[in-house]
């Protein structure tokens, strides 16, 4: 399901009639398989230099390969032969190639072409008279033994023979251009559309050009994005979700303000003698509220890594909102995220050191080493195992060994030293001063009701944050596994802000109720309350796998869940950064004792 693309590659922006030759670039991907396509026996380009990819494209498996298609701009060409392929089924090698091609059609492998950084789209009519433009087209299609057409065979009634594979060996391409005001500069390409066909001829290509006055250069992506499925539903759903989340967030804030106001007013009305005898609720545990948590080392490491991910996500989405990381800038989103993660080792080390020192920890070397290697190491180990599977399957999406070495170099040579620098300044500062002194003897925690026990509270705490992201999560998973473009970064940034606020409010609310129940073990509970949103993420990803995808094969299934676990871990660390606001809330609360 990762991208095996047939890319159209263009060198210039302005085109003069009959002067610019197009160069295509090549690759393929399957809708029902997580493995990039192996080397297909398609027409190959001879002697062409392979275009370079950035780090994000390599990590996403976007391989740009040169192709043999060449034609002249603004010149109509018909039945231009590219190459001829013949197969002898009595030969083992030829039979294997044909079997692989048939399997690829059953898995609905797709070509993806690009010209002047624009996807060449295949447009066809769908329900309600609407026209859908897909930034890819299939290798071919299959009619089952009972005469049922699959995938692209549904659209064309000419495909009707039972138990038959139809390969698309002919492509009609139309290039749309917009003439600039200064005619001396030529024209700009604004759209490229094709129609795949099956002809009982040699593999060939027809091309044509036409002026399109209604499409401007700046809006040339609009016709693709507007035809994406569920686009209008997404707008309505996102707005509806935002209204609901804002309403619930307001309710949580109002409950907290009213509850605190009543409690503080009640405590202030007590005289000193009554106060000593009738204290209850969170006032009883104010002397234990800052007691160091169990496994403080691990908690501080998670907080440091979560800070690194939170800042990385914020900056990446901010740049995406400004348009720097749009779909037209291929691989930029992942490249930006990786570079930011590498450069943000300093805040990770600083936060981990500050909290670990406030917890009374003294093993500073272990703390900084775990901050540098624990969470990144888990992600890299998972990623490396997935890459071994891709290597074993011969997939073109496998990360080259040189790229893995480069990632390790960024990690060990830049991120780790920056983490040590941050930890140095964190340990150099004095420990965080608490507003109250911790009692020497821990207070006994009374028996808790079902709702104030840790597990029920943690499970309930992740529901509200997940409710504000599941719509966006659906479209993000579609963009990763179903080849749909994701471009609504403005809404995603807004949902990101609401998610952070909702996680904080839900955690503060539940933590306050637990303190009122005289349970002062709030550190890990607060950390896991919002972090449990990642468990709902995992459950939804499992549901998405079985209900939306048709992935076949053990390797593809392992790849799906392997990459999903990476996303779940990153999301878990990201959602746990409400700890800072909760820590501030606890400090303010303790001042009313």
Identify whether the C-beta of residue 515 lies closer than 8 Å to the C-beta of residue 285. yes
Task: Report pLDDT for 239.
Answer: 73
Q: Which residues are within 8 A (CB) of 71 and not within 5 positions of it... i.e. 6 or more apart?
A: 21, 22, 77, 80, 205, 207
Task: Tell me how far the alpha carbon of residue 555 is from its chain's centroid.
Answer: 21
254 pLDDT above the threshold of 70: yes
Identify whether the C-beta of residue 289 lies closer than 8 Å to the C-beta of residue 590. yes
Q: Which has the higher per-residue pLDDT, 503 or 308?
A: 308
Q: What is the mean pLDDT of residues 271-276?
A: 47
Q: Which has the higher per-residue pLDDT, 500 or 286?
A: 500
The tens digit of pLDDT for each residue in 156-177 reads 777 778 888 888 888 888 887 7
Q: Which residues are within 8 A (CB) of 485 and not within 5 positions of it... i.e. 6 or more apart?
A: 135, 224, 225, 228, 327, 479
**Three-state SS for 395?**
coil
Which range is least confidently modeled, 289-303, 314-328, 336-350, 426-440? 426-440
Q: What is the mean pLDDT of residues 426-444?
A: 78
36 pLDDT above the threshold of 70: no
Q: Which has the higher per-residue pLDDT, 465 or 540?
A: 540
Task: Report pLDDT for 9.
Answer: 34
Instruction: Report how far residue 500's alpha carbon sits from residue 409's, in angstroms, rounded to the nearest whole number.
Output: 32
Please name every residue paired with 569 in a beta bridge, in sequence order, or none if there are none.
Answer: none
Task: Report pLDDT for 293.
Answer: 87
Residue 493 belongs to a domain? yes
Other Cβ atoms less than 10 A from the Cβ of 98: the count is 16
Are both 177 and 236 inside the same structural domain? no
Task: Report pLDDT for 28.
Answer: 60
Q: How confident is the model at residue 372 (pLDDT cuts 50, 70, 90)?
A: very high
Are both 477 and 582 inside the same structural domain? yes
Of 32-41, 441-450, 518-527, 556-565, where does the model show the most confidence? 556-565
Task: Report pLDDT for 221.
Answer: 65
62 pLDDT above the threshold of 70: yes
Q: What is the mean pLDDT of residues 374-389?
A: 94
Instruction: Report how far residue 35's alpha carbon sits from residue 424's, in angstroms, rounded to the nearest whole number.
Output: 44
Task: Report pLDDT for 224.
Answer: 63
Residue 274 belongs to a domain? no
Helix, strand, coil abundance in the chain, percent, nearest 5: 50, 15, 35
Other Cβ atoms less than 10 A from the Cβ of 299: the count is 21
Are both 211 and 245 inside the same structural domain? no
Are both 235 and 163 inside the same structural domain? no
Q: Which has the higher per-residue pLDDT, 303 or 92?
A: 303
User: Mean pLDDT of all residues in the chain?
Assistant: 78
Are both 205 and 239 inside the same structural domain? no
Count, residues in the chain: 593
Task: Report pLDDT for 534.
Answer: 95
Q: Which residues are within 8 A (CB) of 243 and not within 5 positions of it... i.e. 6 or more apart?
A: none
Q: What is the mean pLDDT of residues 430-444?
A: 75
Are both 246 and 192 inside the same structural domain? no
Q: What is the mean pLDDT of residues 423-452?
A: 79
Q: Which has the higher per-residue pLDDT, 400 or 60?
A: 400
Q: What is the mean pLDDT of residues 92-99?
A: 84
Are both 219 and 246 inside the same structural domain? no
Q: Which has the higher per-residue pLDDT, 558 or 134?
A: 558
Nearest C-alpha neighbor of 530 from the set 234, 354, 237, 303 = 303
415 pLDDT above the threshold of 80: yes
The strand ranges marked E within 144-225 are 149-150, 164-167, 170-179, 187-197, 203-211
Tell me how many domains the chain contains. 2
Residue 356 belongs to a domain? yes
Are both 211 and 336 inside the same structural domain? no
Are both 309 and 201 inside the same structural domain? no
Task: Report pLDDT for 180.
Answer: 66
Q: What is the mean pLDDT of residues 285-309?
A: 87
Q: How confident is the model at residue 371 (pLDDT cuts 50, 70, 90)?
A: very high
Task: Report pLDDT for 308.
Answer: 95
Residue 1 belongs to a domain? no
Of 20-34, 54-68, 273-287, 497-511, where does the model show the most confidence? 497-511
> Of 193, 226, 259, at which residue does a domain stop?
226
276 pLDDT above the threshold of 70: no
> Of 211, 226, 241, at which residue does a domain stop?
226
The tens digit of pLDDT for each residue in 496-511 reads 988 888 888 888 888 8
Percent of all residues in the chain with a pLDDT value above 70, rounded to a whole number = 76
Residue 269 belongs to a domain? no
Are both 484 and 558 inside the same structural domain? yes
Residue 25 belongs to a domain? yes
Q: How confident is the model at residue 218 (pLDDT cuts 50, 70, 90)?
A: low
21 pLDDT above the threshold of 50: no
Are both 200 and 327 inside the same structural domain? no
Q: How confident is the model at residue 275 (pLDDT cuts 50, 70, 90)?
A: very low
Q: How confident is the model at residue 270 (pLDDT cuts 50, 70, 90)?
A: low
Which range is least confidently modeled, 40-49, 108-117, 393-402? 40-49
- Enclosing domain of residue 429: 231-250+295-439+457-590
The DSSP result for 54-108, as a single string, is -HHHHHTT----B-----BTT--EEEEEEE-----TTSHHHHHHHHHHHHHHHTT
Residue 577 belongs to a domain? yes
Residue 505 belongs to a domain? yes
Q: How confident is the model at residue 200 (pLDDT cuts 50, 70, 90)?
A: low
Are both 501 and 373 inside the same structural domain? yes
């Amino acid at each position: 399901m990762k991208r095996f693309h047939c890319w159209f590659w263009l060198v210039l922006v302005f085109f003069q009639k009959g002067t610019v030759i197009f160069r295509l670039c090549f690759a393929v991907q399957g809708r029902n398989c997580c493995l990039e396509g192996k080397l297909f026996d398609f027409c190959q380009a001879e002697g062409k230099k392979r275009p370079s990819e950035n780090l994000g494209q390599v990590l996403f498996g976007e391989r740009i390969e040169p192709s043999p298609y060449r034609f002249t701009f603004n010149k109509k060409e018909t039945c231009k032969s590219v190459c001829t392929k013949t197969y002898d089924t009595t030969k083992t090698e030829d039979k294997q190639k044909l079997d692989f091609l048939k399997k690829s059609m059953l898995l609905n492998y797709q070509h993806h072409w690009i010209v002047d950084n624009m996807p060449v789209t295949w447009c066809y009519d769908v329900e309600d008279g609407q026209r859908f433009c897909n930034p890819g087209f299939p290798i071919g299609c299959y009619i089952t033994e009972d005469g049922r057409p699959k995938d692209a065979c549904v659209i064309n009634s000419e495909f009707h023979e039972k138990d038959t594979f139809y390969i698309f060996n002919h492509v009609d391409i139309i290039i749309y251009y917009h003439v600039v005001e200064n005619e001396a500069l030529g024209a700009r390409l604004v759209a490229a559309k094709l129609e795949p066909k099956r002809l009982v001829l040699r593999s060939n290509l027809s091309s044509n050009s036409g002026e399109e006055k209604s499409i401007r250069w700046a809006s040339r992506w609009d016709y693709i994005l507007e035809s994406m499925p569920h686009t209008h539903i997404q707008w309505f759903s996102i707005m509806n979700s935002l209204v609901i989340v804002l309403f619930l967030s307001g309710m949580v804030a109002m409950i907290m303000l009213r509850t605190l106001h009543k409690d503080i007013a009640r405590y202030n009305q007590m005289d000193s003698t009554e106060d000593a005898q009738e204290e209850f609720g969170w006032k009883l545990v104010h002397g234990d509220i800052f007691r160091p948590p169990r496994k403080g080392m691990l908690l501080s490491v998670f907080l440091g890594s979560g800070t690194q991910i939170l800042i990385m996500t914020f900056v990446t989405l901010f740049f995406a909102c400004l348009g720097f990381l749009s779909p037209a800038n291929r691989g930029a989103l992942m490249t930006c995220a990786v570079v930011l993660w590498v450069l943000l080792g300093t805040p990770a080390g600083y936060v981990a050191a500050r909290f670990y020192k406030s917890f009374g920890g003294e093993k500073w070397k272990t703390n900084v080493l775990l901050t540098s290697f624990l969470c990144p190491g888990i992600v890299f180990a998972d990623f490396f195992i997935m890459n071994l599977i891709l290597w074993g399957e011969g997939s073109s999406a496998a990360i080259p060994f040189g790229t893995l070495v480069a990632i390790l170099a960024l990690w060990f040579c830049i991120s780790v030293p920056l983490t040590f620098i941050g930890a140095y300044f964190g340990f150099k500062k004095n420990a965080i001063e608490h507003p109250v002194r911790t009692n020497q003897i821990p207070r006994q925690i009374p028996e808790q009701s079902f709702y104030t026990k840790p597990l029920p509270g943690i499970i309930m705490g992740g529901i509200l944050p997940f409710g504000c992201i599941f719509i966006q999560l659906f479209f993000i998973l579609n963009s990763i596994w179903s080849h749909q473009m994701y471009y609504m970064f403005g809404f995603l940034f807004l949902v990101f802000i609401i998610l952070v606020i909702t996680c904080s409010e839900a955690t503060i609310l539940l933590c306050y109720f637990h303190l009122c129940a005289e349970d002062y073990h709030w550190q890990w509970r607060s950390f896991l309350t919002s972090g449990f949103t990642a468990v709902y993420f995992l459950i939804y990803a499992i549901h998405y796998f079985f209900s939306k995808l048709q992935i076949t094969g053990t390797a593809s299934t392992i790849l799906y869940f392997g990459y999903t676990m990476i996303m779940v871990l990153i999301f878990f660390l990201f959602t746990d950064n409400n700890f800072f606001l909760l820590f501030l809330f606890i400090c303010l609360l303790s001042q009313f004792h």
